[in-house]
Amino acid sequence: MITVQVKRRSDDTIKEITISGHAGSAEYGQDLVCAAVSAISLGCVNAVELLLNVELPAKQGDSGFLHVQVPDGYAPELVDKVQLLLEGMIASLYSVAVSHDKYVRIADKLKY
């Protein structure tokens, strides 16, 4: 199962996102649920960096692991844009989780 953990600040902005595990909905290389989660999450990280010219600290590892931290200290005009892109990522991951609830679980205090 893929687990998405979202940690938020007291103002409900995203502080960090951790994604780990494999869906196991098909054989390795054929798992469309894993492919969807990977495409959504890595596409969002790339979008933040390419569109906003902001380095978003991210660590990628084995077994579908991705950890993204949103540092304090971004220029005020960037904070809302970074958060909007990340919220879009979470909303897209919720769509996958709704369709494939046996394979994706999202832990976030906010629900879409």
pLDDT, one tens digit per residue, over 45-72 is 999 999 999 999 999 998 789 999 999 9
Nearby residues of 102 by Cβ (< 8 Å), 6 or more positions away: 1, 25
Q: Report, as an integer, the average pLDDT of 68-97.
A: 95
Assess whether pLDDT exceeds 80 at residue 112: no
> At 111, is the secondary structure helix, strand, or coil?
coil
pLDDT interval class at 27 (50, 70, 90): confident
> What is the per-residue pLDDT for 46?
96
Please pick, among 22, 44, 67, 100, the residue that the annotation labels catalytic.
22
Catalytic site residue 34? yes
Residue 88's CB is within 10 A of a number of other CB atoms, namely 14
Residue 96's CB is within 10 A of a number of other CB atoms, namely 21
Catalytic site residue 44? no
pTM higher than 0.85, yes or no? yes
Q: What is the mean pLDDT of the chain?
A: 94
Please pick, among 34, 44, 67, 100, the residue that the annotation labels catalytic.
34
pLDDT interval class at 110 (50, 70, 90): confident
> What is the per-residue pLDDT for 29?
83
> What is the per-residue pLDDT for 73?
87
